[in-house]
RNA sequence: GCCGCGUUCGUCUAGGGGUCCAGGACGCCGCCCUUUCACGGCGGUAGCACGGGUUCAAAUCCCGUACGCGGUACCA
């Protein structure tokens, strides 16, 4: 089979992290089978259209390393890839269904439909529908005379096209992830196919496009599962073979429920892909993490790059239950990937971050050494700039928590140490020597290592943690280090 | 409410009748390494939602209950 899959987001906002995972699974599936990955923009709801959303989607996919084979701006043999540009096609197919007697025109206003629902509710129907029963008492081409229908259309009256959903029928389909799923049509409305503004609904557009774009597998979120019978009915009405269906488990918030913007962000989880870009996350870490959120290759492996994931990914290994987003695990992945990158790879990116902070970088070698010293310690690349700020600027204040380690005898010890290293020549001012000097001081004062180490760290870096201090001091240089010790002695006594 | 889909350590998951008094990973805790911060290494903690069946045998199959999630629009 020629595998063709699509990622079909609607441009109603920035790309959600859940959407990104859906895209990823589609992409992995496509690449695994040597197939085609299509991006289709589902912009049929003009009232929710957000300017720039489409570009955000494209940028996000590019950032994670997913290559679009066909899509807006990219082209392909099945375009256009924006649904708003395919209106004529939908009208054609909607008309076909009406002509075949499987759909009909309906002229009811929103108010009239609400009225109908109210009325039915009052008479004891808990979930009123526009269905095979109620459509008989509504204003549509099934109840109105042909004359009347034609008159209304000619008159430019607003209308929708509705699917004639059979009264009592079981719709069954195979889901690649869930197995056989069945619904009874008695729970379905006569679905609107064409809206009164001339745009198709998702249901029509998605079926028509998936068929005309020769999509072989529909891989989408579980929120679509209940709509699938409508789609199956449509394929049947058109006489088309439906694509293989696969409904992905949803990504959940740690407190339960959908990973909504408000909820997630209050729990420290960015929801939009652009926040991960702006937040300087490693794209390969995000990809690896997301791939494992609802899928696993079945062995004990955890780390795989995009290429390996493409090779490993299969739908039968996708899990059924919702997956809670675990930010700490993401950070673990992020650390892994940072450690995996070489200093050379990191350098230009770190430089950019330092530039943005306005730091002056003495030399390329200097920067390389800083990165080396911090490489195993940072969780996110921007920490090279925050944790390593003291390599580029004299600390202006001291971390409050760290200050607790500045005890009454700290000044005395630091003073003694300063005097010792002041006598070193520039050449002697290197890590091993600096460490020896420290030993001599603590021996002389008969105190433990930490007694001098912590105050020294605070004085030099302003922080209570950070890279190996001796090579750091060597890098910063004698003059600056002694200056910082003097400042600390003044400020902290 | 109705319909649908789920449910294995706190979290992501492996496991699909006997090899499982359930394996890995994150987290957490402890130890080792390091007379600093980390990395790393080793170990520990903790789970088959519940109740019935079927079977010699059930985390695994069936039924029910509970709980969670999704859907129920001229939104996608």
Residue nearest to nucleotide B15 (CA to C1'): A298
Q: Could you say which nucleotides of strand B lie within 7 A of any protein CB atom?
A: 1-8, 10-15, 23-27, 35-39, 68-76
pLDDT at A13 over 90: yes
Report the DSSP pairing between strands A170-175 and A179-184. Answer: antiparallel
A389 CA – B41 C1', rounded, Å: 31
A311 CA – B38 C1', rounded, Å: 34
Name the CATH code of domain A4-70+208-251 (choices 1.10.645.10, 1.10.1060.10, 3.40.50.620, 3.40.50.720).
3.40.50.620
Name the CATH code of domain A261-338 (choices 3.40.50.720, 2.140.10.10, 3.40.50.620, 1.10.1160.10).
1.10.1160.10
Residue spans in chain A of domains classed CATH 1.10.1160.10: 261-338
pLDDT band at A6 (very low <50, low <70, confident <90, very high): very high
Neighbours of A388 (CB within 10 A): 24
**CB-CB contact of A9 with A41 (8 Å):** yes
Which nucleotide has the shortest C1'-to-CA distance from A298? B14
A235-287 pLDDT, tens digit each: 999 999 999 999 999 999 998 888 888 888 888 899 999 999 999 999 999 99
pLDDT at A301 over 90: yes
Share of chain A above pLDDT 90, in %: 83
Cα torsion A271, A273, A279, A285: sign? positive
pLDDT at A1 over 80: no
Is the CB of residue A470 inside 7 Å of nucleic acid strand B? yes
pLDDT at A225 over 90: yes
Residue spans in chain A of domains classed CATH 1.10.8.70: 342-391
pLDDT at A447 over 90: no
Enzyme catalytic residues of A: 261
Helix (H, G, I), strand (E, B) or coil at A106: strand
- Angle of helix A228-238 relative to helix A202-212, nearest 10 degrees? 50
A77-118 pLDDT, tens digit each: 997 999 999 999 999 999 999 999 999 999 999 999 999 999
Is the CB of residue A222 inside 7 Å of nucleic acid strand B? yes
Residue spans in chain A of domains classed CATH 1.10.10.350: 400-492
**CB-CB contact of A434 with A482 (8 Å):** no
Predicted local distance difference test score (pLDDT) of residue A399: 86
The whole-angstrom separation of Cα A454 and Cα A476 is 18
Average model confidence (pLDDT) across chain A? 94
The whole-angstrom separation of Cα A433 and Cα A399 is 27
Residue A318, CA distances (Å) to A179, A248, A250, A292 in order: 12, 8, 12, 9
Name the CATH code of domain A87-194 (choices 3.50.50.60, 3.40.50.300, 3.90.800.10, 3.40.1160.10).
3.90.800.10
Residue spans in chain A of domains classed CATH 3.90.800.10: 87-194
A400-492: CATH architecture? Orthogonal Bundle (1.10)
Predicted local distance difference test score (pLDDT) of residue A409: 86
Predicted local distance difference test score (pLDDT) of residue A176: 96
Predicted local distance difference test score (pLDDT) of residue A131: 93
Neighbours of A172 (CB within 10 A): 11
Burial class (CB in 10 A: 0-12, 13-18, 19+), A47: exposed
A252 CA – B49 C1', rounded, Å: 19
A378-435 pLDDT, tens digit each: 999 999 999 999 999 999 889 888 888 888 888 899 999 999 999 888 888 999 999 9
Global pTM reads 0.95
Q: What topology is assigned to A342-391 in CATH?
A: Helicase, Ruva Protein; domain 3 (1.10.8)
CA proximity to A448, closest of A400, A392, A396, A407: A407
């Amino acid at each position: 089979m020629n595998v063709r899959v699509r990622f079909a987001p609607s441009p109603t906002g920035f790309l959600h992290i859940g959407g990104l995972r859906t895209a990823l699974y589609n992409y992995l599936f496509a690449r695994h089978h040597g197939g085609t990955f299509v991006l289709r923009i589902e912009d049929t709801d003009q009232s929710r259209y957000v300017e720039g959303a489409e570009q955000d989607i494209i940028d996000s996919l590019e950032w994670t390393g997913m290559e679009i084979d066909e899509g807006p701006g990219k082209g392909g043999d099945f375009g256009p890839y924006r649904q708003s540009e395919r209106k004529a096609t939908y009208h054609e197919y909607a008309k076909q269904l009406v002509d075949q007697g499987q759909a009909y025109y309906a002229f009811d206003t929103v108010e009239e439909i609400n009225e109908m629902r109210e009325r039915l509710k009052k008479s004891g129907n808990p979930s009123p529908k526009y269905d095979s029963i109620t459509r008989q008492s509504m204003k549509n081409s099934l109840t109105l005379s042909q004359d009347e229908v034609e008159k209304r259309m000619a008159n430019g009256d607003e209308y929708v096209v509705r699917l004639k959903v059979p009264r009592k029928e079981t719709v069954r389909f195979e889901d690649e992830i869930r197995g056989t799923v069945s619904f009874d049509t008695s729970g379905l409305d006569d679905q609107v196919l064409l809206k009164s503004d001339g745009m198709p609904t998702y249901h029509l557009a998605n079926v028509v496009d998936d068929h005309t774009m020769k999509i072989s597998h529909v891989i989408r979120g579980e929120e679509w599962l209940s709509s699938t019978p409508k789609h199956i009915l449509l394929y049947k009405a058109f006489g088309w073979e439906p694509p293989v269906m696969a409904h992905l488990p949803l990504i959940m918030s740690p407190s339960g429920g959908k990973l909504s913007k408000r909820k997630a962000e209050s729990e420290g989880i960015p929801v939009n892909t652009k926040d991960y870009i702006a937040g300087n996350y490693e794209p390969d870490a995000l990809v690896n993490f997301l791939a494992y959120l609802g899928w696993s290759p079945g062995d004990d492996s955890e780390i795989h790059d995009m290429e390996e994931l493409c090779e490993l990914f299969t739908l039968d290994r996708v899990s059924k239950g919702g997956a809670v987003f675990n930010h700490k695990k993401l950070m673990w992945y992020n650390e892994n990937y940072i450690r995996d990158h070489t200093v050379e790879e990191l350098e230009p990116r770190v430089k950019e971050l330092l530039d943005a902070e306005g730091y002056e970088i003495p030399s390329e070698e200097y920067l390389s050494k800083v990165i080396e010293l911090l490489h195993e310690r940072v969780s996110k690349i921007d920490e090279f700039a925050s944790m390593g700020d003291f390599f580029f600027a004299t600390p202006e204040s001291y971390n409050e928590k760290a200050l607790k380690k500045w005890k009454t005898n700290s000044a005395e010890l630091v003073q003694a140490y300063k005097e010792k290293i002041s006598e070193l020549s520039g050449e002697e001012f290197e890590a091993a020597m600096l460490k020896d000097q420290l030993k001599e001081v603590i021996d002389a004062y008969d105190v433990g290592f930490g007694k001098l180490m912590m105050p020294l760290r605070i004085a030099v870096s302003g922080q209570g943690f950070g890279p190996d201090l001796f090579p750091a001091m060597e890098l910063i240089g004698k003059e600056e280090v002694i200056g910082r010790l003097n400042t600390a002695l003044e400020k902290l006594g």
